[in-house]
Every structure is written in C-alpha cells, then in structure tokens.
Amino acid sequence: MEMDDHKRRRNMILYVLIAFALYLVLNQVLFPNIARQQMTIKEASYSTMISDLKNDRVKDMEYTVGSDSDALYTLKGDDEGVAYQTTVLPGAEDYLSELIADSGANVVVSIATNNSSTWLYLLITFGPLIIFFLVGWWLNRKMKKAMGDDNPSMDFSSGFGGLGGGGLGKSGARIVASKDVGVTFKDVAGQEEAKESLKEVVDFLEKPERYEAIGAKLPRGVLLVGPPGTGKTLIAKAVAGEAGVPFFSISGSEFVEMFVGRGAAKVRDLFKQAKEKAPCIVFIDEIDTIGKKRDGGGFSGNDEREQTLNQLLTEMDGFDNKKGIVVVAATNRPDSLDPALLRPGRFDRRVPMELPDLAGRKAILEIHAKDVKTEPPIDLTAIARATPGASGADLANIINEGALRAVRLGRNRARQEDFEESVEVVIAGQQRKSTVLSDHEKQVVSYHEIGHAIVAASQKEGAPVTKITIVPRTSGALGYTMQVEQDEKFLTTKQEVLDKLAVYCGGRAAEELIFGEMTTGAANDIEQATKLARNMITRFGMSDEFGMMALGTVQNAYLNQDTSLTCAPGTAERVDAAVQKIIADAHARALQILRENKFKLHELARYLYKKETITGEEFMTLMRRENPFMPPKPAE
C-alpha cells in the first residue's frame, strides 16, 4: 500500500509526542536528582544539619553512604522548593546514621559505588537521545515496509523527518502499485494516435520475449508533448494500468532543492527504486523544470538544476533496459528542453497530445457524462460542436458545471440546457447579477451585439449565429454573440479571415452609426482583430506587400502562442501600417453592411433589449422577415 506524505507527517508528530512524554517520565522516575535543578538550594553548615536532625525539624533528606557528596534536606514549615545542602564530614557516617534512625524524617539513603556519578551523568545525558534514535529507527522500518520496501535499512534521515539531512536525498516519488492504478485506455478518449503509439510500450512490458526474439529494444523514454489539460498524466497512468506494472509519479519541481547536489541525489534514488520494482513506469511531469537547455558558456548561475539534469541524462543512458523500465515525461514546452535529453537512447519516442477534434470532444464528453445522472434527450454532439479548441480538462469541467447547475436549481438530473449554460460559464464566466446596467448602457450593448450578429449573418461562409445575450458575465463581458461552426475546419481562407475581421469590427461600427460615439466595450474586439490581422501578415503570408515572407516566430506553441517579430525596425513599421489598413478596411466594410441593414439593426436591438437573450433561430427569423414599410428590393 502507498503511504502519502500527510500520513507520514502525522505518524512523525505522534512519535515526537510519545518520545517527549517518555522523556518526562524517565526524568521523574529514573532520574529524581534532576529535581534539584528546579529547587532553590541554600548552603548550610554540618553542625546546623546535626542540630536540625536532633530537634526533629528535617522533613525530607537525600544522603549517600560512603561518599563525600553533599546531603540535601528540607525543613518542616519552609516554603516548597527551598532546600539546604551541606557536606558530610569523613568518618561521621555512623554517628549520622544513628541520628537519622532516631529522627522522624523521610530519608533516602543509598550506597555509593565507584564512578556512580559519572555513569549517572552519562545515562541522564545520552539516554533520551539513544531512545529517540531507537524509536526513530523502528518507525522508519515500519514505514518502509508499509511502502513496499523489502529491505528496510537503518536510515535515520528519513526516520526523523529532518534530522541528519532531512531526507533530502530521497526522491519523494509517489508509488502506485499495479493493482491500484485503476486507469486503462478505456478511460482515455480523443487521443487515438497517442494510444496507438503507446500500445507498443504496453505490449513490450507484457510480452518482452516477442521483441527480444527479433532484436528490438524497448524505448527507454516516451515524451508526451501538448497543451495543458490534454490528458498527458492520464495516458501515462493508463499505460501502467494496461501493462499491470507499478507506477512512479513525480513532478520536475520536486527535484529542485536549496542545497546543491540534492536534486541529483533524488534522481539516483528514483531510479534505484525503479530498478527494484522493475518492470515499471516512471512518470516525470513538467520535465521542462529540470530539463531546460544548458547555456554554452557554462555560467548559467544554476548549478543545482544543471547537476540534476546531468544526473538524469546519466541514469537514462546507463540503466539496463532489459528489466523493463520506461520513463514517461510530460511537458508543454518541448522547445525549451536540452537536445541531449531528446536524443534517441533517452527519449526515443515523442508522442504529441493535441487538442481533440469534434469526434474526440464528443467521446470525451461521453466518458465524463457516464458518471452524471441525465434527463433525455441529451445531445453531446451539440456541446462538442460549441467547444472548438477545448481540452479534455475543459470538457470535464463543462460536464461538472452542468451537474452543479442542476443541483443549484433543485433537480436530481442534469438536462441539455444545463450543459449548454455550462459552456457559456467556461467561456465567459457566470452571470453577474450584481451588475445593473442603465437604460442607455443597455441600449448601447444591445446595438453592439446586434451589430456583430448582422455582419456575421451577412457573410456567405461564416459560422451561423447561435445565441446573443446582453447579460453581464464575471469575465467582464457585458454581452456576447456566439457563433458555432457546423463542421470542423482545419484550413481558413483569406476571405474567411477578412470576414472574421469585419465581424470583430461590427460592434464598434454599430455604436458609431447609431450613437455617434465610441465606448470601451469594443476593447476585446480590437485586441482580437489586431492579433488576427498581424498574423495574416507575419505568419500566414496573406499580404500583397510582403507576400510569402515570414516576419515572426511563434514562442510557446502549446501555451500562449506569442509571436515575436524577426525583421528590421523599418519593416516592423511597414507591418504596423499594413495591419492598420486591413483593420480600417474591415471597419469600413462593417459600417457599409450595417447602413444597408439599419432598419433591421433597430428592430433586432429593441427585441434584444427587451428579452436580453435570444437564440440564433429567433435572430434569423427576424433577420429574414420582410418589412412591409420598407421599399421592395430590386430584382437581381
């Protein structure tokens, strides 16, 4: 069974409390002389002690026969904690014994032996420490047995949770036994190509003799690359679950220590444990934390990280792979990894984990919807179609948000409307009921959103409008227009990009046309339009002036996809001018479309103002309806 860090810390705290209580008991029972340190000791002469004994004023007394040590006694009627000390004169033992016998005092008499004080001092000083070490060693053995270590050794660093190095050389990897992994390829959807690539690894771990007969070698490492939330950790567990082998899981950040050399020690310990449990899967998440490229000068200022990387390179290149150890690593920044880590012989296979397509999104939704009680009919295809670019984690969150909404509304089953609303929650946030717009602001937002919708509906190849709302959201949006593609698209033409730019400009154009003023509501539209227009010129080669010339490079392709210009300053100025012209043309086109449909703009904006949320069907019905007061359109 696996013992997690919380349970280990709890056991260690319990051990410290027990040991402390035991130490107090030993002080009081076995070492009563320690009590002297807590008393006020006053000097008294030998004759004074004799007088007190004769007059029966002594209450308690400690006296050792046969030594020159002091006698300690307390008097009746004195305050607690006050004692008197005197030195027993040599040869007076017999006389003192007679006085003690005649006295009614409570006297403890002991026989002195050679070096008794020395041995007592050593016992008092080192006894508790020895007890601490023995109990710590015993607890360490118990913990190692609980974690599956068949050969527990005396390791005081981990037994004391910090004493003698703090266990910093231990890898800290979470070990999941083969029977407890609980994840197989059936639990992974939307990553069929990755599953096919990893099935060979599973087959090799199950039947290595088939591959050894032909001379094939098991891949030492598999690198999973892809955006966050695509299931890299999940598919690594599925490999271990399918093969029925133990699963070691550790994050790259757990190798980072404040002491130089500790990270490398953790790497050594991780692979030592893996060899003992082979065949097994070793999963290192976020490997870019320790696997970043080393600089050429050798003065990176981070010796700890580089030593950890060097140790990882050595371990991956040095272990005997016949035992069946597969290192699976995950990262969303493969461009930052060191080339020595990516060469064949270390990470032999690179498996991309891309965002799922339409069929993949539907399969992921079906897996997560199995655990939720639903009320038919449920159309998960519509949800998948409305979530292009969503990762597996996003889709799982959408299903969960739909179930939570059903509970909030007092239902015991989730409906289609719950999942549709959860799509909007993930995209734009929850409805912000505390935000109350004035009548004028509500009118501006209505015209703004209808401006987007009319321009979108005027495009021949554009995605149809499915929903328009002016209900504020927690993301900061005061309203939005949702468009959903009917089919999955992987290529976009230049005309489609220009149409999309016109749709972005539709909101601001409607404000200018109706109110003759500008508001801050178009901030996100402007940002998206500028980014798309710049990509047209720098990445897509859709400019007559620059043609097929790459003017920028994408950084962090799996994260924010920032583009940095790789051109001269003069060329960058020309790029800015070209971007401005493309956006200006799109804005002028949007204005022209809205002028031609000004009556529909007023009609639809008033309708949206009253209902606040309308569907795409309602919008298209009003958009296509002929107005009897308008002059008939000339025949084409």
SS3 assignment for 524-552:
HHHHHHHHHHHHHHHCCCCCCCCCCCCCE
What is the structure's pLDDT at 130?
76
Q: 226 pLDDT exceeds 50?
A: yes
Catalytic residue selected from 242, 257, 315, 449? 449
What is the structure's pLDDT at 526?
94
More confident residue, 506 or 11: 506
User: Is 193 tagged catalytic?
Assistant: no
Percent of the chain scoring above 70 in pLDDT? 74
Helices (H), 147-231: 156-159, 192-206, 208-214
What is the structure's pLDDT at 153?
40
Q: How large is the average pLDDT for residues 90-113?
A: 63
Q: 313 pLDDT exceeds 80?
A: yes
Give tens-digit pLDDT for 460-484.
877 888 889 888 887 778 888 888 8
What is the structure's pLDDT at 179?
62
What is the structure's pLDDT at 170?
62
Per-residue DSSP letters for 16-45?
A: HHHHHHHHHHHHHHT-GGGGGGGSEEEE--
Can you list the pairs that 377-381 forms with residues at least 24 positions away whose Cβ atoms lie under 8 Å? Answer: 377/416, 378/415, 378/416, 378/419, 379/416, 380/419
Q: 321 pLDDT exceeds 80?
A: no
Domains and CATH numbers, the chain: 31-112 (3.30.720.210), 174-352 (3.40.50.300), 358-427 (1.10.8.60), 439-624 (1.20.58.760)
Q: How confident is the model at residue 322 (pLDDT cuts 50, 70, 90)?
A: low
**What per-residue string of b and e applies to 87-96 under the rule 16 or more CB within 10 Å gives b?**
ebeeeeeeeb
Give tens-digit pLDDT for 389-434.
888 898 999 999 999 999 998 999 999 989 988 888 877 777 777 7
Omega of the bond leading into 128 within 30 degrees of 0 (cis): no
